[in-house]
């Protein structure tokens, strides 16, 4: 391939391929043609970052003691409670889990129990057929592979039946104190859109946006604050914008 010599300061002479030079000029041309759009993207990111900082400051005052609202004493209990919370309120889950964990205190107890018994015990949380099936299968894996313990990494947790990235983030952040990501549920999804923090439509992409906007040390508590806001003033059907402390920075009201 034809090459052209090029000397870099402080280096021995090097050769740069003509093809690489052509690639450089193509990229430069694309940049110049799209400079306006690129500047708009940079300005949008800067604006979101500034708004995120304002929102963080206000929500800290609104919810100074934000934390996980699923009652638990161990990582295992939180794992099961989080699975049960899918399409169910935390309040209902907290009503079910005391008797559930009294009846099935360990992964071994769940794994050995007839599926119908688990279904009956969690029936009021909804979707109990799938939840019971996943819990029983999950507990067998915990017994066989992890000596009855809940693994403490994202990579291991998401391989368990019924456990996605959201559930894994909940368990890691609240039971292990490991900041692995940003919990994105229906409340966080809705508020991310309303507050102009993300325009993405999948939980994974919304999480990617949020972790770029907030300091890592705030990810766990910030997700709790957004969830509490979503259950309160910023509900899905009738948000109480006039009563919300965020009305001065929320794009919906500006």
Strand partners, 5: 15
Pairwise CA distance, residues 232 & 131, whole Å: 27
**CB neighbour burial string for 188-215, b if at least 16 within 10 angstroms, e if fewer:** bbbbbbbbbbbebeebeebbebbeebbe
| Structural contact between residues 154 and 197, judged by C-beta atoms closer than 8 angstroms | no
Largest CA distance in the chain: 77
Active-site choice (90, 109, 185, 208) = 185
Q: Give catalytic status of residue 166 as yes or no.
A: yes
User: Which one, of 39, 47, 104, lies nearest residue 76 by Cα?
Assistant: 104
Pairwise CA distance, residues 195 & 249, whole Å: 8
Active-site choice (136, 166, 209, 221) = 166
Pairwise CA distance, residues 26 & 15, whole Å: 20
Helix or strand run (H / E) with residue 16: strand 14-17
Neighbours of 50 (CB within 10 A): 12
Q: Give catalytic status of residue 185 as yes or no.
A: yes
What is the full DSSP assignment across 187-227?
Answer: HHHHHHHHTTS----SHHHHHHHHHHHS-GGGHHHHHHHHH
Question: What's 124's DSSP letter?
Answer: G
Query: Looking at the annotation, which residues are catalytic?
Result: 166, 185
């Amino acid at each position: 391939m034809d090459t052209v010599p090029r000397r870099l300061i402080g280096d021995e002479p090097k050769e740069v391929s003509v093809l690489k030079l052509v690639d450089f000029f193509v990229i430069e041309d694309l940049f110049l043609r799209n400079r306006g759009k690129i500047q708009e993207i940079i300005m949008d990111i800067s604006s979101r970052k500034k708004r995120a900082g304002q929102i963080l400051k206000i929500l800290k005052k609104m919810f100074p003691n934000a934390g996980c609202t699923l009652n638990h004493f161990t990582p295992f209990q939180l794992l099961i409670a989080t699975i049960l919370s899918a399409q169910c309120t935390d309040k209902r889950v907290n009503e079910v889990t005391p008797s559930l964990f009294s009846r099935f205190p360990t992964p071994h107890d769940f794994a050995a129990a007839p599926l119908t018994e688990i279904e009956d015990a969690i029936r009021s949380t909804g979707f109990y057929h799938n939840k019971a099936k996943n819990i029983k299968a999950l507990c067998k894996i915990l017994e066989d592979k992890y000596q009855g313990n809940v693994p403490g990494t994202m990579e291991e947790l998401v391989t368990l039946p019924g456990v996605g990235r959201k559930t894994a983030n909940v368990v890691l952040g609240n039971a292990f104190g490991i900041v692995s990501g940003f919990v994105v549920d229906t409340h966080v999804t809705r508020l991310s859109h309303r507050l102009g923090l993300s325009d993405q439509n999948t939980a994974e992409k919304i999480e990617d946006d949020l972790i770029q906007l907030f300091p890592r040390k705030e990810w766990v508590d910030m997700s709790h604050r957004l969830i509490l806001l979503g259950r309160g003033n910023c509900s899905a059907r009738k948000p109480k914008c006039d009563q919300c402390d965020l009305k001065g920075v929320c794009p919906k009201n500006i």
